[in-house]
Chains A and B, each alone.
Chain A
């Protein structure tokens, strides 16, 4: 049996090297901008995704497979997320032994995991599974993860990086491998075979992916472990690479770090501490989701991005409805202040938006302010959409803090509440943006009209070519574009902006 000192000394040395390496190598990044969140009546800038963790397929006495099955079938179908990320402990590594002592890996557990996901049609461009400590015991090379997980098979890597691109912007997501890379077996002695952390190669991947997506509107990072001490004696967290990791996330202005491992649910705004070092750029949402497969909580988390404001709610598998207010965003994350929350004007024409997911066809959705006895109606923003909107006359509200509660009465009745700061005066409407049509050409042979344009408020406005369609924003070219087959060739095109501006340009026929 190796002594603890023998096990840790090389790792501490490696951590020193990692620190030395990355203090020199980690460049200043400038990616997402969580401070860019804004309050808007535009309901077309919303998307959502799901994080689950600790599925523990193979755990004795748990509902591991039924809950994962639910998530990737019913859950996926009702919520229709942009993607699902599962942050580790995909398998239990116990093969159902009585004590839950992880002495695997076991191919039988991975077979169950793999088959279940394949039957549900999970693919590598939708389902992002990263390893946790239970997937790392006795497996230094992550051979079982790489041969069986969705991402491992697709990428041959233990970390994942992906984006989602919309007309209103581009968003970057990173899944990091925080599990121990030693292949140590589980031990009942601290640190339980789980000397977690990020080694230089893993940090290098994080750094390069953040740099490659520096143009993203927002960046979200997921890992299995908490980055710092949770205060619970049985927990483990990042023991090496943590400072460099947090420096990287801080430089990239990551909006959030979602993790599992503890089997507890928690949310706060985290701006670093003496262990991780401070996050000088403002910090990030720090969101723990309880185990999907191995605790009675049976949780997953729904995240939403609405006009670059981030909100999330932890929900219980199989329980409907799920309600999440997406706009305005709360001034709190858990019990901590959210520095990226905006203020809300006391205007007569404010809007409230919330996602409501339910198997019931038509849940009744309403909102109230400050616990009022009067509930006001909300309606779907478009047919079939889970996004509901409500008109909110805030003109009579005093300046200061107010609560908004959205209630959905469907399969059961569930509420979600946010706290917002309402300003005392109605701000003047913003001046119209300046729209420039940078090119308008018509290819006669293909009968294709191509238009590119910019706005002084891009990417936070929608541009439309009148009579043709909505333009798509590219964060790479930093412009909007649209190509469409039209006939005959128009003499001019007019581009109008949701920000009020417009511009017209003659079409060059080729």
Chain B
């Protein structure tokens, strides 16, 4: 009985999809945006297959093909305009492939699209540091510091800056 009721309670707690305002009908569709959304959806599906199904099973060749398809889909999506999601995925794929400069550029664009996203700055800093571009990494970390007032985050960013200035991992305490 409990098992039958629990999902219903869950639905009630989470709420269903928001109801459309009365008389609003379907909002007008932007065909370019719709196409972009489809590309990103397809890119995400390819990424998920490559990253979560094939890579952990060591099916690297197939994974590489799926990543290629994901990249093509995300890039097609970007033809229709900027997309934070597409840049986030492309940054990740480039980083996984060791293309750190390209990854950093995608994360920089992502960071520009959402000025509130502190972690986008840090992802860019990580990629720039991986690329050996420490000045750019430092700049991104400082930018991240300007995006948050959270003490824990500021302290962590200071740790990252210290590691960067030490040009290598900080020795263990």
Please list the residues of chain A having a beta carbon within 8 angstroms of any beta carbon in chain B. Answer: 1, 10, 13-14, 16-17, 20-21, 24-25, 60-62, 97-101, 103, 107, 110, 139, 141, 143-144, 146-148, 185-190, 200, 233-234, 295-296
Chain A residues whose CB sits within 8 angstroms of the CB of B171 once the complex forms: 61
Q: Is the CB of A97 within 8 A of B126?
A: yes
Q: Is the CB of A295 within 8 A of B129?
A: no
- The digit string for B139-150, where 1 denotes a CB below 8 A from any CB of A, is 000001000101
Q: Which residue of A lies closest to B13 (CB)?
A: A13
Q: Which residue of A lies closest to B15 (CB)?
A: A13
Which residues of chain B (149-173) have a CB below 8 Å from chain A?
Answer: 150-153, 155-157, 159-160, 163-164, 168-173
Q: Which residue of B lies closest to A291 (CB)?
A: B172
Q: Which of B2, B13, B92 has the most CB of A within 10 A?
A: B13
Q: Is the CB of A139 within 8 A of B52?
A: yes
B69 CB → nearest A CB, Å = 19
How far does the alpha carbon of A185 sit from the alpha carbon of B125 in the complex, in Å? 16
Q: Which residue of A lies closest to B95 (CB)?
A: A103
Q: Is the CB of A1 within 8 A of B120?
A: yes
Please list the residues of chain B having a beta carbon within 8 angstroms of any beta carbon in chain A. Answer: 2, 6, 9-10, 13-14, 52-53, 55-58, 84, 92, 95, 114, 116-120, 122-123, 125-126, 129-130, 137, 144, 148, 150-153, 155-157, 159-160, 163-164, 168-173
B121 CB → nearest A CB, Å = 9
Chain A residues whose CB sits within 8 angstroms of the CB of B160 once the complex forms: 98-99, 101
How far does the alpha carbon of A189 sit from the alpha carbon of B125 in the complex, in Å? 16
Q: Is the CB of A103 within 8 A of B55?
A: no
A25 CB → nearest B CB, Å = 5
How far does the alpha carbon of A99 sit from the alpha carbon of B153 in the complex, in Å? 13
B18 CB → nearest A CB, Å = 13
Q: Is the CB of A189 within 8 A of B130?
A: no
Assuming A13-B14, A61-B168, is B125 touching A99 (CB within 8 A)? Answer: yes
Q: Is the CB of A188 within 8 A of B118?
A: yes
Chain A residues whose CB sits within 8 angstroms of the CB of B130 once the complex forms: 97-98
Q: Is the CB of B119 within 8 A of A1?
A: yes
Does more than half of chain A's interface fall in helix, strand or loop, or is it mixed? loop
B157 CB → nearest A CB, Å = 7
Chain A residues whose CB sits within 8 angstroms of the CB of B53 once the complex forms: 143
Assuming A99-B125, A144-B56, A188-B118, is B6 touching A61 (CB within 8 A)? Answer: no
Q: Is the CB of B118 within 8 A of A189?
A: yes
Enumerate the 6 nearest inter-chain pairs by beta-carbon distance, A residue then B residue, closest first. Answer: A61-B169, A13-B13, A147-B56, A1-B117, A99-B160, A143-B52
Q: Is the CB of A148 within 8 A of B122?
A: no
Chain A residues whose CB sits within 8 angstroms of the CB of B84 once the complex forms: 1
A24: contacting residue among B2, B56, B148, B159, CB under 8 A: B2
Q: Is the CB of B52 within 8 A of A60?
A: no
How far does the alpha carbon of A138 sit from the alpha carbon of B57 in the complex, in Å? 17
Q: Which of B9, B116, B126, B137 has the most CB of A within 10 A?
A: B126
B6: contacting residue among A110, A148, A200, CB under 8 A: A200
Q: Is the CB of B119 within 8 A of A20?
A: no
Chain A residues whose CB sits within 8 angstroms of the CB of B170 once the complex forms: 61
Q: Which of A99, A143, A147 has the most CB of B within 10 A?
A: A99
How far does the alpha carbon of A28 sit from the alpha carbon of B151 in the complex, in Å? 43
28 chain-A/chain-B pairs, Cβ below 8 angstroms = A1-B114, A1-B120, A14-B10, A14-B13, A14-B14, A16-B9, A17-B9, A21-B2, A25-B2, A60-B169, A61-B172, A62-B169, A98-B137, A98-B164, A98-B168, A99-B122, A99-B125, A99-B126, A99-B163, A99-B164, A100-B169, A101-B122, A107-B58, A110-B56, A148-B56, A188-B118, A190-B152, A233-B152
A466 CB → nearest B CB, Å = 54
How far does the alpha carbon of A97 sit from the alpha carbon of B103 in the complex, in Å? 14
Chain B residues whose CB sits within 8 angstroms of the CB of A25 once the complex forms: 2
Chain A residues whose CB sits within 8 angstroms of the CB of B56 once the complex forms: 107, 110, 143-144, 146-148
B10: contacting residue among A13, A144, A148, A188, CB under 8 A: A13
Q: Is the CB of A21 within 8 A of B116?
A: no
How far does the alpha carbon of A190 sit from the alpha carbon of B149 in the complex, in Å? 12
Q: Which residue of B lies closest to A13 (CB)?
A: B13
B150: contacting residue among A190, A200, A296, CB under 8 A: A190
Q: Which residue of B lies closest to A12 (CB)?
A: B13
A188: contacting residue among B55, B119, B172, CB under 8 A: B119
How far does the alpha carbon of A24 sit from the alpha carbon of B56 in the complex, in Å? 39
Q: Which residue of B lies closest to A190 (CB)?
A: B152
A348 CB → nearest B CB, Å = 49
Chain B residues whose CB sits within 8 angstroms of the CB of A10 once the complex forms: 14
How far does the alpha carbon of A21 sit from the alpha carbon of B3 in the complex, in Å? 8
Chain A residues whose CB sits within 8 angstroms of the CB of B137 once the complex forms: 98
